[in-house]
Structure 1
Amino acid sequence: MKKCLALLPLLFSCVICIAQPNIGLTVSPGFSFTRTTYQPSDDSQVSKGDMAFRAKFGLEIDFPITETYAFSTGILFAPKKISVVASDFDQITTSIINQKEEYKAQYLQIPATLKLFTSEIQPDLRLFFQLGFMGEILLYDQAFDKDYIMIEKFRFFDFSFTGGIGVEYGAEINTRLYAGVFYDRGLVNVVRDQNDDLAADLSIRMDMLHLKVGVKF
């Protein structure tokens, strides 16, 4: 098994050399936020917290299929923030008590998407549409404060839909610049273990709206 894993980088390099893909460097600043579902039988509530500015970056690899289609993959480092607000009604003071908890998480993303390019709208400039999915592996997670106990453990993986529209400028045959607006929508509840004091199952899915910019060689 270890020998097979050691051969994977060599196999990947051979595939790249044979397929002659376009390899690019990309960075995607944007806003990370969550969708939270919590349906208790009592007066307690858990809702999403604040969104956070984050930037993911890495390699993007396009394998041309035709002049207008390409299969795009890569490997990206994606930091995220999970923010939730717990609310409960205090019968003594007849007031709402709010408690916000925040966690940071870092993922390794491996996208599998399809790109559709249009004809040139200006000399050396064309639009592209990109749709697909991303597998995500959790590299690291930590609560911002040691007293945050609502979420005890996150799942080691996530799976997201990703889609967007952008433009690509290619004045040089071997060098192209591109930029686009993208939306990543999490499909998996990232909470594995939660605090037993919660009155219902807590479901959190992570999204990101970001501006992707990059250069391909």
Structure 2
Amino acid sequence: MQKKTIRFLLLAFLFINFGSRQVIAQDYYSSTYQYKPVSLGITFAPNMAWMRHGDAEGYQNTPKFGFAYGLLADFAFTENYYFATGLLINTLNSDVEYADPTINTTPGADLTQSFRLQYAEIPITVKLKSTMRYFRSYYGQFGFTGGVKLNAKEKELGNSTRSSMGDDADFFRLALQIGGGVEWQLDHNMVMATGLSFNNGFTRAIKDGEPRNSYVAFNFGIFF
């Protein structure tokens, strides 16, 4: 009788231990996850930027690659609605070709200026997320970005050095942003975000020609 009791207790212990491990495994590999009220992360976002001169004639704009990096923060209203912000260092590059005003009567006398504008930007956006299913969710994002100039340089085509633009580049930049993408659940505390966004500047970037600058960015981020 005593041996049967011992065997029963051993079997019960093994069954409970195996069952608890199965529950943990099922929870870890679950197809749904509970949302976090606050998520902080880092991002790197290559972009393609260009100038927009509107109705001004005589300007030809060529997009160029740049990049942004920094911190991201998502604050949840509910499971599917978030306030998304952060702090980004954003570098926008573009080329502008225009007629040289000093020799504009000479055929082909055009100048090509290469601009590099760098801003510290804060996104102020609303992010709408689908419920996490099978390790992924989809999101859409809409809002504004506000930035201040950190650096602004220009150079003419053929020159090897850039010169500071000083007050010729405006200090503030405001823009409208829209985008979307996918968030991938790597584990319970880590999410990888991939997406695409369009940022349309509506304040003047530089004084000469009064262009606005816009860009398309490929967004990569890790939330912890």
| 2:142 equivalent among 93, 107, 131 | 131
User: Does the 8 A contact of 1:101 with 1:150 survive in 2?
Assistant: no
- What is residue 203 of structure 1 aligned with on the other side? 210
Percent identity between the aligned chains?
24
Structure number with greater Rg is 2
Residue 216 of structure 1: CA displacement? 0.1
> Is residue 194 of structure 2 the alignment partner of residue 179 of structure 1?
yes
Structure-1 residue corresponding to 2:38: 21
TM-fit CA distance, 1:209? 0.7
Give yes or no for the alignment of 1:188 onto 2:188: no
**8 Å contact kept, 2:154–2:165:** no
Q: Could you tell me how far apart the structure 2 residues matched to 1:168 and 1:161 are? A: 22
Local SS of the residue matching 1:37: coil
- Residue 87 (structure 1) shift: 2.6
Q: Deviations over 1:76-121 (max 9, x none)?
A: 000112422113797976x34221112211100100000001134x
The reply to whether residue 60 of structure 1 matches residue 72 of structure 2 is: yes
Change (3 A) 1:117 1:86: same
TM-score by length of 2: 0.73
Instruction: State whether residues 35 and 48 of structure 1, in contact with CA within 8 Å, keep that contact through their aligned partners in structure 2.
Output: no
Q: Per-residue CA shift, 1:113-165, capped at 9, x if unaligned? A: 00001134x50211000011000100111122579899961110100111111
Coordinate RMSD, CA, aligned? 2.7
> Could you say which residue in structure 1 is the equivalent of 2:180?
165
- Answer 1 or 2: which has greater helix percent: 2
Distance 1:169 1:150, change over 3 A: closer
Q: Which amino acid aligns with 1:216?
A: F
TM-score (norm 1): 0.76
User: Is 1:112 the counterpart of 2:124 in the alignment?
Assistant: yes
Q: d(CA) in 1 for partners of 2:163 and 2:149?
A: 19
Residues 197, 219 of structure 2: 8 Å contact kept: yes
Q: Looking at secondary structure, tell me which structure has more strand per residue.
A: 1
1:178 shift after superposition: 0.8
Q: 1:46/1:129 Cα in 2 relative to 1: closer, same or farther (>3 Å)?
A: same
1:85 aligned onto 2:102: no
Give the whole-Å Cα distance in 1 for the aligned partners of 2:138 and 2:120. 28
- In structure 1, which of residues 19, 27, 34 is the aligned counterpart of residue 51 of structure 2? 34
Evaluate the alpha carbon distance shift between residue 49 and residue 127 of structure 1 in structure 2; reply closer, same or farther with a 3 A threshold: same
Q: 2-side partners of 1:91 and 1:47: how far apart?
A: 13
Deviations 1:2-56 (A, max 9, x none): xxxxxxxxxxxxxxxxx962001111012111111354xxxxx431332111110
Corresponding residue for residue 140 of structure 1: 151
C-alpha spacing 1:149/1:181, structure 2 compared with 1 (3 Å): closer
Q: Give the distance between the partners of 1:65 and 1:119, measured in 2 at CA.
A: 14
In the alignment, structure 1 segments of 5+ residues that lack a partner are: 1-18, 40-44, 195-201
